[in-house]
Structures are given as C-alpha cells and as structure tokens.
Structure 1
Amino acid sequence: MPIQLLRPLACATLTLHLGLLSACASDHADTPPSAASDTPQEPPRQVAVATPNTTPASPVQSSAPQLGFAEWRDQLRREALAAGIDARLFDRAFAGISPDPRVIAADRSQPEFTRPVWEYLDSAVSPSRISRGRTMLAQHGTTLTAIQQRFGVDREVLVAIWGMESAFGQNIGSYNVIRSLATLAYEGRRQAFWREQLLAALKILQHGDISPERLIGSWAGAMGQTQFIPTTYNQHAVDFDGDGRRDVWNSASDALASAAHYLGNSGWRPGQPWGFEVRLPQGFDYALADPEERRSLAQWRALGVQPVKAPNVAEEASATLLLPAGHRGPAFLVLNNFRSILRYNNSTAYALAVGLLSDALKTGRSQLQASWPRDDRQLSRSERIELQERLARLGFDPGAPDGIIGANTRKAIRGFQQLLGWPADGHPTAELLARLRTQP
C-alpha cells in the first residue's frame, strides 16, 4: 500500500514510518500487525505474516482519551467543517459510529513469531498467483498498455502489486474506513497521524468518489484494490476509466493507474529492472550488503559479483546488495525501481516479492536459482529484543530494544560478527544470539 505516511517508507527502521501505502490485503488484510522489520506493513504498522500468537506491543502507547467519544467527535466536526467538509456529509459519515475494539486490538498487538522470508515468498510468488496474474495480464492487456504508456511503469509490476495487495481485487477489506480511522484517531497510537488520515477520508467523500456506506478497507484504513491510505489516495488516485470518479474499490483501471501514478512520482525509471539475482565470490565482504552501499554495476562486477542472468541495465546504474536471508541465502543487486517499490510498502520482503512475482509473470514460473536456508530457525520477537539488549551492553548501538531488525540493529550485528570473524551479513540468527549469551 502506498504510503506517504508513515515512513520516510523505506525507512531506516522499516516499521512505523509515515508514508507507506498499504498492507498485503490478499494474504494478510485485517490481521494484527507484526513488529518484524522485513515483513510488509500497513501505514504505521507491519502486516502480520505470522502465527496467531501475539504479545502486547511496546509500552509506547497512547494515553487514555481525555474526552468522551461524542465530545471528541464534536470537536472533530468543527475542525472538519472549517476545512470545507459539508456538515450533512459529516453527520452521514459518522451516523452510528463508535470506536471499534477490533481495531484497537490490532493496533496494540504484535506477533511473537513471524514467518521467514522464504515462507512469505512461497505464498507471494506461488504457482497459483503466477497463473492468475498472467490471466489478469491478458484480460486487462489494453488497459495496462495504456497505463504503461502514460506512466512508464511496467505492467507486470502493476499486476504483481495488484495481486499482493488484494488478490487482484478479490479482497479489499471489509472495515468501515471512517470507523477504523476514528477509532485510531481517538484512542490509538499516533493519534495526530490518524486524525490527518480521517480528515483526508472525509475529503474523499466530499469529492464524491464513493459514498460513506461503501468506503471500506483494512483495519488501518488502507483502501481499494491497491490499498491506498487516504492522504496517498488524495495525492495519487487517478480516474483512468473516465467515469468522473477515482474508484480504486470497483475499477481495476483506476486502481492500477493510481498505483502507476504513485510509483511514477516515487522515482520509477522506465525500462530499468527492479533488480536481479547474483552470485558472490568466495571470501566476499558481506558487510557490503548495506542499503547505504550504492555502487555501479561495473563496480560490483569488479568485486566479483556476477548476475545469474545478464540484466538489461547500463553498467553505470547504481545498485545495492540485498541478502534477505543472510550470506547462506540468495543474493540480489537491487536498483532504483526496487526503492520505488519500497516507497509503496517499506518492507524488503514485500518489494522482493513484487519483483520476483513480476519476473515470473513474464515467464510463467519463478526462476530463482539459489536455495533458501530453510533449516534456519527464526528468532521470536522476545529473542530479537534480547539480542538488541545484549548488543547494546557490549557497546554496539542497535537502537531501542523493540524487536525490529532495522538498519541500526543490522549495523550493530555486523559489528559483533566482525569482532567474531564471522561473515558480517547483519543477519540475526539463533547462533548469533547464543554467542551473545556467552558474553559477560
């Protein structure tokens, strides 16, 4: 889901940043958020690609509401009317609205266990999704050609996002968006942010794109077949089918064109791939797998990094090295368009899934060559917190012990790995935690 919201989306910490877009509604809509940094996320939270077991979120919660909901709503009404919202429209949108306890439960819970990246990709780039996506490519070929000509974004990428976000329009969520956003603005975390989203949703209604009764989405207010949050919708939604309404709920044309418009404004480069799989030489310095380490393709080649398949990209193109499962798993060079996908959803797993799915839509099957380290045990959230605490005690700086494996934590892990003489890939493992536990 596009986000402009919580993130500064590819954010360094990969989790509660404003500016993201949406959640993967097709697999995870309406589920509680996860704290893992490399799984997809919804506006200010990550989608739960996890087991149902949840633990309370970190103590940084909102304080209890100082006003009753009715008084709070009346204050909001005055603010909305001052911003140009019609009074009758506001009253219609809020008719019968009360806080939704399911939304607060989702906002305040985080799963203890998350699925490893390969299990997420097994689902995201499954044979059935590839097959369905190719059918959608053929069925909407004329529209996709027109969208690609106008916005420059590859049709396969758009269909991959469509499949990831809503199962090609089949699952757009069932929550009343006004109720969800009102609940979060009233008593959720980041109340100011959600208030902004709520006012933006009222502007959508004021514009006449959809009626209050049909304004549905995920529990966090991500909307439509491409799961836009309201502020992103207001900036990037497009009426591509020409019916006078930007209808990302019911019009595949509008939804796909809106996603293309967002990606285009996020720096998408026509004709350039998102990235490609590579092989690394013996003795490679895995510490170079850092988002801040940008080198040209020619420079990576000089270090012995070799594409599995010759890419259609200039040698001077800037790329970073991605090791989503550490040095034992597949390696990728990712380019500018990968970063544009991250702006849609600030999760490396999500962006990788979109990239691999878009490639598979061209050929009919996944073509990943390297194997995933499926015998690796994933750390639980409490173990990730412990790992961060122990790294901090040793003088490394992983940031707040929140269980989120973001840029700071990976840097701290690399520092400890280098101290041990291990491959410094910044990847958290059970073996690494065990070694930390032996330190005084």
Structure 2
Amino acid sequence: MRIVIVFLALLAGLAPALAQGNVEAGFRPFLESEIWPQARAQGVSRATFEAALGRVRPNLRLPDLVMPGQGAPVAENQHQAEFQSPASYFAENQVAGLASRGRRLLQEHAAVIARIEQRYGVPGPIIVAVWGRESAFGSASIPHDAFEVLATKAYLARRKEMFRAELVAALRIVEEGHLRPSEMKSSWAGALGQPQFMPTKFLELAVDFDGDGRKDIWNSVPDTLASIANYLADAGWVARRDWGFEANVPASVSCALEGPDRGRPIADFVSAGVARVSGRPFPPHEARATGHLLMPAGRFGPAFIATPNFYVIKAYNNSDLYALFIGHVADRMRGAGPFAGGWASSDRMTRGDVARMQERMVSAGYDVGGVDGLAGFKTRRSIGQVEERAGLAATCWPNRAAAGRLG
C-alpha cells in the first residue's frame, strides 16, 4: 500500500509538467494549421510569420488560460483594476496626480490637441485622461512580447476566436511595416502602445496625425492622441455634450431605473427631484437632451446623470468605473473637485459570490446581463428589484440580505 501511495504522489507531482509538455507539443502544430492559413489569406508573408512566431512558446503564466481538459469556472477574484473596490479605484492621490499631470500636458500639447478636437469633436481633457489611464501618458512599462501573449491566448484562452483574430491582425501590423516583431510589446491581454489598442483596433482606427507616414502609437504623441480621439469619435461621441454630472438622487427615485436603455430627458429627472450636487442647474441644452441614471455602486456610492457620451467611453473599456474615472479626471483637469458623494462600505463579496447570486436571479427570471460575477448595471438594477419586492430598502448592490431572499 505504501508503494502505491508513493507512486500516486509521484504521478500527481508529474501531472503539471506532463500537462505543460502536452500543451507545448500541440502549440506549433496549432500555429501552422490554424493561424498560418488565416494569416496567409490576409497577405502575411511566410517571412513575417516566422520572424514573429518562429521562436514563440506558450506562456502558461498568463491569466485567464484554460488548459486542455479543464473547464472555465468564474474566478473568485479578479486582479484587473476595473473589477476592484470603487473606493480604491478612485483613490484621491491617484486621481489628483493624473489630473495635475494631465493639465500640464494639455498646455504642452495645446496646438496639436486643438487640431485634434477640431477634427474629431472629442474634448482634449477626455483624450488626455484616456492617455493617462492607459499608459501613464506613455511612461508605463509595457513588458510582454505581444506575439507570445496573443499566440498563447489564441491557443488556450476562453475567448480563442477573438485572440486568433487579434494574432493575425498583429502579424498584419508587422507585414505593413509599422513595427518589427521585437518591438511589438503589449499588456498581458495583448493591448498595444500608449493607447492600449488591440491589434484589430490599431488596423481600424490608428491615425498618422504627425504626417510621417507611420501610425506610431508607441512613440508619437500626436498619433497617440489622435488615435484615441478617432476611437471615441468612431464609437459615436456627441460633440458639445458633457459625459455626465454628479447628482443627488432621492430615495423616491428608484436605483433600479439605472441603465443606458432607460434614458429620458434630463428635465424629467429634475422634475422627479434629482439635482446636481453643485447646486447649479443642468445646462439648458443638456436639460432638453437624454440622460441616464448611473449608480456604479448602487446606494453605496455617488450617483450621476450620464449622457450618451459616458457609454461611448465604455466602448473603449466596458467598465462603468473606467468610464467614470475618465470623465472625472477630465473634469478635474478643468478645475473640478473630488466627488461630493463617498464610497460606503458594503458586504464583502467575491466575484464568485456575485456569480452565484446572478445564477439564482436568472433562475428567478431576472435579467442580469450574463453570469460573470460582475455587478454591471443589469445586475445592479435586478438586485434593486429583488430588494423592492422583498420589502427591503433598495441598494442595487450585491449584498447578503438580497442574496438570502433568492433562496
């Protein structure tokens, strides 16, 4: 029996190494049979393919990989910033530091920003805020080999088809002469350059604004800023509208009314008792236009009346906190202060806890927008509906009391 136990223990110890060996053994045939035909069909030469992928091996240290034979459970926690506590995401030292540096850069690049604003209709502070958030205005380290990241994820990620398209797009970037393979550095998710564009977005939306014949989002400030502006304009930015306004939302206005699909004239919100925290009225042109209730932490955080431009920012990064951060930092560059509302403590729940709550809500007939463990607007307002139907004060935020009413 002892010999059997020792043998089984040895097998268990060898399992990870055997799994890695199997992955690596299948990696090169995958590139040849799946990626090379797609790349060749899109004009990528064999020389470019070999230069970019000839020595690449799968990087099994990357997050969000699914090894052969494994499922893809929802993670209990998430290391990406947009999935963390709103209070930490909006740490004042970080917001103030980005806004201060952003103001200096707005002045330093005023002439080129004015030309970009005129062409694309996107305000300079919004563009510069995105630049600051994505790459610390170009100073952040972008450490990964883009081809190693994209090839690994094309082979092993949960969203393989997406990363296969991105890998072929990255090969096209090299084929078109924008960069050499060794210069293609990315984030752990495969995003490129100072604006952190995925390769397909680079091919679609990157701009040569300095006129040197290259769309250089790695080294050129004009190209970087114009590319960000082009991205937002292409997503539908409405010129001469703000992104949103912090507001006081009385308890008589249900937090379950939140969402981009429940817009109404801002004047209607005012009639219901919603008011700007500044005490100033909404600008007349905004009051006549459509607004949306936005409560990114339910009743545990500040509330806002967002315009459609808020959701344009979300096209850049599909996170309410990200879009709110960009709008807030842009406002701070213009001289605004911190949020009037604070971020209150709530029940500590992991991403897995929220996913299990979503599963129960779906079973009860609620629309949560997908079981992903993230408290997006559909999940928030569905929680509010659960609370209201149970006779609880609606918070529209994951909490154990609401979870308990779901059985």
TM-score range, shorter chain: 0.7 to 0.9
Cα pair distance change 1:89/1:124, threshold 3 Å: farther
* Alignment: residue pair count: 372
- Given candidates 27, 42, 57, the residue that maps to 1:98 is 57
**Number of the residue aligned with 1:112:** 77
- Contact 1:176–1:217 at 8 Å: present in 2 too? yes
The alpha-carbon deviation at position 141 of structure 1 amounts to 1.4
> What is residue 15 of structure 2 aligned with on the other side?
none
Aligned positions of 1:303-314 closer than 5 A: 303-308=272-277, 309-312=280-283, 313-314=285-286
CA distance change for structure 1 residues 261 and 188 in 2, over 3 Å: closer, same or farther?
same
2:323 to 345, 351, 359: 351
What is the aligned counterpart of 1:371 among 319, 323, 342? 342
Relative to structure 1, is the Cα distance of residues 209 and 394 closer, same or farther in structure 2, using a 3 angstrom cutoff? closer
Q: Does 1:136 align with 2:105?
A: yes
Q: Structure 1 residue aligned with 2:399, among 429, 433, 440?
A: 429
RMSD between superposed Cα atoms in Å: 2.5
Provide the TM-score with structure 1 as the length reference: 0.78
Q: Deviations over 1:323-365 (max 9, x none)?
A: 11212431100001111101111100000000000000111x5
Could you say what secondary structure the match of 1:183 adopts?
A: helix
Per-residue CA deviations over 1:8-53 (Å, capped at 9, x if unaligned) read xxxxxxxxxxxxxxxxxxxxxxxxxxxxxxxxxxxxxxxxxxxxxx
Partner residue in 2 for 1:74: 32
Asked if 2 retains the 8 angstrom alpha-carbon contact of 1:197 and 1:229, the reply is yes
2:65 and 2:137 map into 1 onto residues whose CA distance is 24
User: What whole-Å deviation, never above 9, does each CA across 1:195-243 have from its counterpart, x for those lacking one?
Assistant: 1111111111111111111011101110111100011111100001111
Give the 3-state SS of the residue equivalent to 2:332 in structure 1.
Answer: helix
Q: CA separation in 2, counterparts of 1:328 and 1:105?
A: 30
**Fraction of identical pairs, as percent:** 35
Question: Which of 201, 207, 227 matches 1:232?
Answer: 201
Report the TM-score when normalising by structure 2. 0.84
- Greater shift, 409-418 or 131-140, is seen at 409-418
Question: 1:290 aligns to what?
Answer: 259
Task: Measure the CA separation in 1 of the matches of 2:61 and 2:290.
Answer: 44
Aligned residue for 2:48?
A: 89
Structure 1 residue runs without a partner (length 5+): 1-63
Aligned counterparts of 2:112 and 2:364: Cα–Cα separation in 1: 57
Distance 1:369 1:337 in 2: 22
CA contact (8 A) 1:285 1:423 kept: no
Instruction: Render the CA deviation track for 1:52-96: whole Å, top value 9, x for unaligned.
Output: xxxxxxxxxxxx979722222222223322321122122111231
Give, in whole Å, the separation in 2 of the partners of 1:66 and 1:132.
Answer: 45
Larger radius of gyration: 2
Residues 73-128 of structure 1: CA distance to partner in whole angstroms, max 9, x if unpaired?
Answer: 22222332232112212211123111111225667784526532122011685222
Counterpart of 1:336 (choices 280, 302, 308) is 308
Structure 1 counterpart of 2:192, one-letter code: M
SS in structure 1 at match of 2:246: strand
1:260 maps to 2:232 = no
Asked if 2 retains the 8 angstrom alpha-carbon contact of 1:99 and 1:179, the reply is: yes
Q: Is 1:413 matched with 2:383?
A: yes
1:403 is the counterpart of 2:373? yes
Q: Is 1:184–2:153 an aligned residue pair?
A: yes
